[in-house]
Amino acid sequence: MVAGSGLNKDDILGVIPPLNGIATVEKVAANAVMAGCFAGLFSVGAGRRPGRVGNRASILTCATTTGNVAPLVIVNGPCRNTLQINYSSNVLGQGWRANSTIGRALRLVLSNIGGAAPRRLRQSHSGSTGKIYVLHR
C-alpha cells in the first residue's frame, strides 16, 4: 500500500484531531488495509500531497460532537470510473467496495490515529448506522 502511494512511509499527511495524532503514510496505509482498500483507493485518501488533511475544524467537530454526524468525502474526476466509485443511484447505499472502503478507512483513521474512538472521545448519545458517507460527483 505504501509503495503504491508514491510517497515515503514517514511522510506526514497531516494532524488528525481530536488528539492531534500524526498521520504518516504508513499509519494511514495500515488503516486503509484494515478497511479493505486496494492501492488505487489509498491514493485517493492520501491525495499524494503530504501535509494536507482537509479542514481540521470540521474534522474536530465531527469527531467530538454528541450528535450523530459523519465526515463526507467527495471524489471527482476520471478516477471515479477507474476506481469503480459509485456516483449514481444508491450513492450512499451498499454494494460498492470503493465507496465503503474509503469511508471505513476514514473512520479508522479518525479513531486509531486521531483518537476519536467510541467511549473514549466519541460520545455520541445515540450513534448512527450511517457513520460512513462517501459522495461522488
Domain layout of the chain by residue ranges: 2-136
> Which residues on adjacent β-strands are paired with residue 12?
24
pTM as predicted = 0.78
Amino acid at 127: G
Q: Which residue carries 497531516 as its cell? A: 14
In one-letter notation, the amino acid at residue 67 is G
Give pLDDT, residue 75: 82
pLDDT tens digit sequence for 53-110: 555 667 777 777 777 777 777 888 888 898 899 988 888 777 888 888 888 888 888 8
Work out whether strand 21-24 and strand 12-16 pair parallel, antiparallel, or are unpaired: antiparallel
CB neighbourhood size of 14 (10 A): 23
